[in-house]
A and B are shown apart, each in its own frame.
Chain A
Amino acid sequence: MYLLEQLINGICQGSIYALMAIGYAVIYGVVGLVTFTYGEIIMMGSFSAFYYFILFGDNLFFALIAGFITAAVVGIVVHKVCYQRFLDAPRYISLICTIGMSMFLKNFATIVFGSEMKGMPAFFAGKFIEIGTIRVGYMQLLIIGVVIALSLVLTIYLKKTRMGMKLRAVSQDKKAAALVGINVKTTTLIGNCIGCGLGGVAGILLGVYYNSVLPTMGGMAGLKAFSSMVLGGLGSISGAAIGGVLIGVVENLGIALTSSGLRDVFAFLLLVLVLVIRPQGLFGKKGN
């Protein structure tokens, strides 16, 4: 029973990781590159919600939308600065540019928002469903619900709409996509925005779940998103989601059995183990 409760904690945290990883996978797909700015985008999303709550009151739904838009706008900036100008240049230039952008955003946030931790309002405090001896908080249910809903919307968007098809085409092969008349630049921009927007929403969920936002919160969040994606298999969106949930569950069960100090040990041990046994990730294709 107790482990089941920890399992639910893990799924809840894991679903936030999953959302971050899905966004990351979308970006990786269209850009074709690992980004190091993603953690900071998550942080910006979180801060936009923090200020939304101050300015317009505690409405989580609109805050999520505000966070999506803010993160997408930051995504446009990242795209303009780091990707667009270097499309034909060696790939590592964009890569290093994202590292620079990450440092810039972190320090920018520290200067503008202040370095101290800020509290987020609590939603559904003390409300939970009791099944036997297990307690599941409303907040946890809400987080899992939001993540599932967004994943479904994204899947439908990618599979059923024309734009989604273009995104998938660009992810698979940029040159071939250009040959059949897809505007690769615009599509990459849109894909990047969607990925960043999802990251922003995940940032808000993270902030609300942890009750805190901080300019340096992006580092570990970005790393977890990246790990989840690698665990699931590079470029596989459903793989990324499962990777995220897995990392969350393993972390929480690890804490349940040992101590919170070892959280990241479990998360990254899992990653290393999977990569040793299956280098392409759980759901990746060989040769990717």
Chain B
Amino acid sequence: MLKKVLVIVMCLSLLVGVFAACGDKAEEPGEVAGVIKIGVAAPITGNFAEYGKGFDVATQMAADKINAAGGINGKTLELVVMDSKGDAKEATDIARKFTEDSEIIGVVGDFSSTCCMATAPIYTEAKMVQLSPTASHPDYAGMSEYMFGVMGRQDAEGPFVAQYLAAKYLGAEKLAIIYLNNDWGVSAQSNIVKGADEIGLDIVALENFVDGEKDFTATLTKIRQTNPDTICLVMFYNEVSIIAKQIAQMGWDDVQICALGPGTSEQIIELGGADVEGIATSTPFYVTESDPVAWAFKTEFESKAGFTLNVHSACAYDAVMMMAKAIENLGDNASREAIAGELASMKDFVGITGPIIFTADGDVFRKYKIAQIEDGQWVQKTDYDYAD
């Protein structure tokens, strides 16, 4: 009896799957004019899920706003969102799907430099724009004329972190660095070291780890031997909170922590609790109430997403807005190839995160603010003029 029930349930679930798949096909508008499709690749699950979910919500907000205002030249903007899990292998699969789908005209994504650089050749071959909200590896945007990034570059943020966040703001004299060993982490770390060398800031320890590491006790014990007054964490929210907790667990209380990478991530506070108090980070974008447009965006984002706005999501919003504007400017000439030229020559775009004008490579030089965790909340500590 039980067996029979099981078999029936399994058959039913198979059938549901088949119908669901058919349903997808039937709903596709095919070659119907009046729809413009943009692909969105984001790590909605996995180690960078907070950023991926932010991408999902922010890009949809951008699409809703565009459609509410009449769409792009009268056509409805539709997003095709796919989950890359922060994995370069998944990201390349998605890139193939996007490039093979002739209806998709451009792509916003992915989150990590590693994923973006892995997919760059595929998009380039298809002459399709990959407009990454967050990839900041200095080599990424220069890989081809179809690669763009709106977040800023590591060779601007790295020196800022060394010279202003660590040395000037935290008063560091002996800096230890722990970095995530991937394309982005290595580049960010080398730029911090370069910036530190310029002002004679002493780097006493330089340690790396591979993604997925959970036990930093040995690394921290090793670093404590070198007696740094500040540790700089080049990684994302999961590891930042784990390291902060393990530092507290060790009873190591005479060290300051700063971070490059996580932005003003809410998850750090959620995971780290009291142990992450005082962590300072650099961010190209931080909303205060004095900017009503950005504040309204922040409020709407937070009600939809259920967590606090971070810079990555704001960049994702701007990326969709920017691509939509490029398509609108092109009018009937909009094609995969034409978007690249239009983006490169666009000089008048102002997004939530400020004006975005691409360099010859296709990325942006940004200025940075410093934010710090105080009483379980991110607080902006310095403005853009801190580095002037």
List B contacts of A209 (CB < 8 A).
Answer: 215
Which of B245, B249, B250, B275 has most chain A Cβ within 10 Å?
B249
> In the bound complex, do residue B209 and residue A256 qualify as a contact, i.e. CB atoms below 8 Å apart?
no
Instruction: From known contacts A6-B218, A128-B250, infer whether A122 and B245 are also in contact, taking CB-CB under 8 Å.
Output: yes
Chain B residues 198 to 219 lying within 8 A of chain A, measured CB to CB, are 207-210, 212-219
Complex CA gap A256/B218 in Å reads: 6
Does A217 sit at the interface, judged by CB under 8 A?
yes
> In the bound complex, do residue B225 and residue A217 qualify as a contact, i.e. CB atoms below 8 Å apart?
no
Q: Is the interface of B mostly helix, strand, loop or mixed?
A: helix
Instruction: From known contacts A116-B50, A212-B238, infer whether A261 and B214 are also in contact, taking CB-CB under 8 Å.
Output: no
For residue A161, give the distance in angstroms from its CB to the closest CB of chain B: 36
List A contacts of B251 (CB < 8 A).
Answer: 126-128, 135, 137
Does A211 sit at the interface, judged by CB under 8 A?
yes
Interface extent on B, as a size class?
35 or more
Using CB atoms, name the residue of chain B closest to A255. Answer: B218
List B contacts of A217 (CB < 8 A).
Answer: 214
Of the residues B208, B271, B273, contact of A261 by C-beta under 8 Å: B208
Using CB atoms, name the residue of chain B closest to A257. Answer: B222
Chain A residues 205 to 226 lying within 8 A of chain B, measured CB to CB, are 209-212, 217, 220
> In the bound complex, do residue B212 and residue A211 qualify as a contact, i.e. CB atoms below 8 Å apart?
no
> In the bound complex, do residue B49 and residue A211 qualify as a contact, i.e. CB atoms below 8 Å apart?
no
Q: Is the interface of A mostly helix, strand, loop or mixed?
A: helix
Task: Annotate A127-144 by CB proximity to B: 1 below 8 A, 0 otherwise.
Answer: 110000001010100000
List B contacts of A13 (CB < 8 A).
Answer: 215, 217
List B contacts of A220 (CB < 8 A).
Answer: 212
Does B282 sit at the interface, judged by CB under 8 A?
no
> In the bound complex, do residue B248 and residue A125 qualify as a contact, i.e. CB atoms below 8 Å apart?
yes
List B contacts of A61 (CB < 8 A).
Answer: none
> In the bound complex, do residue A116 and residue B49 qualify as a contact, i.e. CB atoms below 8 Å apart?
yes
Complex CA gap A251/B217 in Å reads: 11
> In the bound complex, do residue B218 and residue A210 qualify as a contact, i.e. CB atoms below 8 Å apart?
no
Using a CB–CB distance below 8 Å, which chain A residues touch chain B? 2, 5-6, 9-10, 12-13, 110, 115-119, 122, 124-128, 135, 137, 139, 209-212, 217, 220, 251-252, 255-256, 259-261, 263
- Which 5 pairs of residues, A with B, have the shortest CB-CB distance? A119-B271, A210-B214, A255-B218, A115-B45, A260-B209
26 A–B contact pairs at CB < 8 A? Answer: A2-B221, A2-B225, A13-B217, A115-B49, A117-B271, A119-B245, A119-B270, A122-B273, A122-B275, A125-B249, A125-B275, A126-B251, A128-B251, A135-B250, A137-B250, A210-B214, A210-B242, A211-B242, A212-B241, A212-B242, A212-B271, A255-B218, A255-B219, A256-B222, A259-B208, A261-B209
Q: A119-B271, A217-B214 are in contact. List 7 more A-B contacts (CB 8 A).
A: A2-B225, A9-B217, A116-B45, A116-B49, A119-B270, A125-B275, A127-B251
